[in-house]
Structure 1
């Protein structure tokens, strides 16, 4: 019979035992991105190191240049300002106002450097009232070269205008014209300059020369009045343009 042996003994059943299989051992995870990560770290390290070395070299070169040449900014002086005409007229019905001006300036530029020369583009000269910041007039200066230890003087620089003013501008300007001690004026000059040193030549850089502290007196009759420029101080500022903004 099935399930028995010939000698009458009982056979053992061959049943499936799941515990007899070997346990599952997951394979260890190997990071494959480690070499790539190390490569990025090395690139960052060497890039930063190169930038620091270049910055150090530039600083050393700048220090050597300053010690050898002692560069200084050019200086400007407003020597005189004559007011031939400064008329503000308003119609009888106060519907419109007209400003007519005619100034004559004398301006000097000095280069204090021994090894540097400055090459200037034409200047745009403008005059505004210091208190109300109202535009008074404009003019131009020709291009010129200021060699080392040289002083250049421009006489007869004409600043003039003939414009219609709105009511707000008139209200800001009229009190300044009525002051007994004169109207405070500011002269601004905008241009671009190139610095030359031996065979080296820089790119053009915008500058603005601002002269404050000018006291103008209205002329009487046909004789021009001489403005007081004894307290006028001129400063030179860089004009850096980034896209649409100028600093």
Structure 2
């Protein structure tokens, strides 16, 4: 079942065109539009500070939002474009698309790691490195998985957990075809350093060869 979808609050924009957009920006708002879903496009304004905060958090274009606009039913939307000022690189307009429950979208799903207490590698002092705390999947808007569960209870030092080791929910699909790494168990740094030292070959002293170091009689000269 889908996890909690973040709310995105907006105001209906009564005017359209460049004049209304400029007025919105003067009021510390960012104009936008909501389209799709067999309904008329809905002009909106987004609070500037809230939008900036969400953009800085990342994944804005791959996050499903529950759009709340006073006087309208809540609707699930995903961002399709963020237009920016070419000089200041600040958002000037945002496009959102309405989604049906059957719509397919790309979303980053968090990975939850379980079995750490039983993991042989961690018990032996190993360190787990999480390569992908989130995995991008193609999912159905009406059935978004809350998380992926990765079991590390049988991993030893040197073992690697791939995406093929994690069960992908029915109806979801990876966006990357290859079997990529999600996490691995590495030896502790002190042990790794010790192993490196043990594997380092002994240095052999090399003496520069002179006449005095060559066995046998010195070469006779014609003096």
TM-score using structure 2 length:
0.28
Rg comparison, structure with higher value:
1
Greater strand content: 1
TM-score using structure 1 length:
0.26
